[in-house]
Amino acid sequence: MNNTLAKYQGRDLVVIIADECEIGTDEVIKSNPFQHWLSRMNQKQNKDILDLRSVKILSVDVYNGRICYIKVSIEVYYNGKRLWDVGFLQGAAVAILIVLTTIEDGEKYVLMVRQPRPPVGDVNCLELPAGMTDGCTNLVKKAMEEIREETGITDVKEEELVNLNVAMGMECGSGLYCSQGVLDEEITIFLLERRVNVEYINKINGAEGGIEDESEFTRVEVVPYYTAHKISRDMKLTTGLLFYERYIKSKET
């Protein structure tokens, strides 16, 4: 095993890299997932409360030359008692709720994508377009990128996107946790709302997208707004719909 040091609350933190990782120590420490997690741990409110003593890197997943996921075992104590120590580091992500309203009859739809999700045993998972930020701090840019990659929509302008997290009173850059017991992922949900004709919906429905080099294969599916939550188990969708409803109400008052 290889050891190195990182900074935690102004002191040295021992970081141990398992031999199985087969990746450079410095590369892991400088990676976006590790730095994102360490910056969260280094927040002032954690000082003298979380006693972080060491971190062991158990495995590292690399895609297209970049570190995407890190599995860690953390020796950390809270009020003298050791906490659950296994975690998966991924970092920030964005998701986009795309609401389409037809010009002809005013019916609302949600543009979603289907894609294989082996971790949940679903070959046809229905969810919002979404993706990791890979360390990019321009979340609007990343949202536009994901829309383009997963849906094929290329004409989105920055001013069209609404940060629903911020609209709900959250600080800019504060994401939503989805499984904080083991995963550090935090998601920012954006809204893209458009008025379109029925012909547009028929044309885009079924369009294929994704990035093959990243093992991503998506297919657009436009679903009725009021039934979307019944046919999708995606928590990003459920939260996005809640935020959207409250956002619309706030504009009416």
Strands 81-82 and 92-102: unpaired
pLDDT-derived band of residue 58, with 50, 70 and 90 as boundaries?
very high
Within 13 Å, how many C-alpha atoms sit on residue 141's CB side? 6
Has residue 20 got a pLDDT over 90?
no
Q: Do 65 and 180 have their domain in common?
A: no
For the chain, what is the domain count? Answer: 2
Bin 169: left if φ > 0, else alpha if -120 < ψ < 50, else beta.
left
Give pLDDT, residue 69: 94
Q: Name the domain boundary from 20, 55, 89.
A: 89
CATH classification at residue 97: 3.90.79.10
Query: Taking all residues of the chain, what is their mean pLDDT, rounded to a whole number?
Result: 92
When pLDDT is averaged across residues 157-176 and rounded to a whole number, the result is: 91
- What confidence tens digit (pLDDT) does each residue in 70-94 have? 999 999 999 889 998 899 999 999 9
Has residue 212 got a pLDDT over 80?
no
219, 125 contact by CB (below 8 A): no
Q: Do 101 and 148 have their domain in common?
A: yes
Q: Do 167 and 227 have their domain in common?
A: yes
Q: Do 202 and 101 have their domain in common?
A: yes
Give pLDDT, residue 228: 97
Q: Do 180 and 219 have their domain in common?
A: yes
When pLDDT is averaged across residues 121-150 and rounded to a whole number, the result is: 94
Has residue 214 got a pLDDT over 80?
no
Q: Do 156 and 58 have their domain in common?
A: no
Instruction: Please tell me the pTM assigned to this model.
Output: 0.92
Q: Name the domain boundary from 89, 112, 145.
A: 89
HEC readout, the chain: CEEEEEEECCEEEEEEECHHHCCCHHHHHHCHHHHHHHHHHCCHHHCCCEEEEEEEEEEEEEECCEEEEEEEEEEEEECCEECCCEEEECCEEEEEEEEEEECCCCCEEEEEEEEEEHHHCEEEEEECCEEECCCCCCHHHHHHHHHHHHHCCCCCCHHHEEEHHHHCCCCCCCCEECCCCCECCEEEEEEEEEEECHHHHHHHCCCEECCHHHCCCEEEEEEEHHHHHHHCCCHHHHHHHHHHHHHHHHHHC
Q: Do 9 and 71 have their domain in common?
A: yes
Has residue 4 got a pLDDT over 90?
no
Give pLDDT, residue 242: 97
Percent of the chain with pLDDT over 70: 98
Q: Do 17 and 99 have their domain in common?
A: no
Percent of the chain with pLDDT over 90: 74
- What confidence tens digit (pLDDT) does each residue in 27-36 have? 899 999 999 9
Q: Do 116 and 156 have their domain in common?
A: yes
Has residue 111 got a pLDDT over 80?
yes
148 backbone dihedrals φ, ψ, rounded to 5°? -65, -45
Q: Do 28 and 115 have their domain in common?
A: no
Q: In angstroms, rounded to a whole number, what is the distance separating the alpha carbons of residues 85 and 182? A: 9
Q: Name the domain boundary from 89, 108, 137.
A: 89
Q: Do 81 and 121 have their domain in common?
A: no
75, 41 contact by CB (below 8 A): no
Q: Do 78 and 155 have their domain in common?
A: no
Give pLDDT, residue 5: 87
Q: Domain of 50? A: 2-89
